[in-house]
A and B are shown apart, each in its own frame.
Chain A
């Protein structure tokens, strides 16, 4: 079955880069997503990558995809305190084009 895994916590100093990792099991995944959840709020789509891409950059965010290892990462450059949140990766595949499979979420804490 499908499974998406993430580490639970990450703590970084303000101004440093953050790297949040995710592994998935469905080799037929077509799109992979990163969502951000701030306290008391719903999940907000940050960025996504199509499975035939290796990298996607969007301002301070860089997504890297290693399809061979089924590994996805989100790098946040110059991390700010406002980046403190829970980050979820998610995947969609032809077998489940109607729904996303979410990871457990990584809580990012940024300290001054």
Chain B
């Protein structure tokens, strides 16, 4: 398995533009998580899905953020309109149903810069 795949690796956009981040989880994993990492706030859980259904989106900062999981192999995180304070590294992670010793498998992240 190629692991969790995120695209793009880097994104630079102007303030006010729409940004879409993409994630392909590991096949067979039932949970998908979106995290944001910044120096100031560390690693923040934004939203997670179970069997493609959003379970907890309490970490989504504002209505400008939205996430979808149309099928088991694809998820998107959209920011519209983007702002400079959204600049961060966004990680997607997936896991099996039971945590146990599996933990999460993380993607390599998307570094977003909003200018």
Contact = CB atoms under 8 A, between A and B. Distances in A.
Contacts of B50: 98
Contacts of A102: 42-43
Interface in B80-103: 91, 93, 98-101, 103
A31 B106 CA distance: 18
B7 interface: no
Contacts of A42: 4, 91, 93, 106-109
Contacts, number: 51
Contact of A43 (B45, B98, B99, B106): B106
Nearest to A104: B42
Interface string A35-55: 100001111110010100000
Given A43-B91, A98-B31, A99-B56, A33 B48 contact: no
Interface of A: 30-31, 33, 35, 40-45, 48, 50, 88, 90, 92, 97-100, 102, 104-105
Q: Which 7 A-B pairs have the closest CB atoms?
A: A42-B106, A45-B103, A43-B106, A92-B99, A104-B42, A102-B43, A42-B108
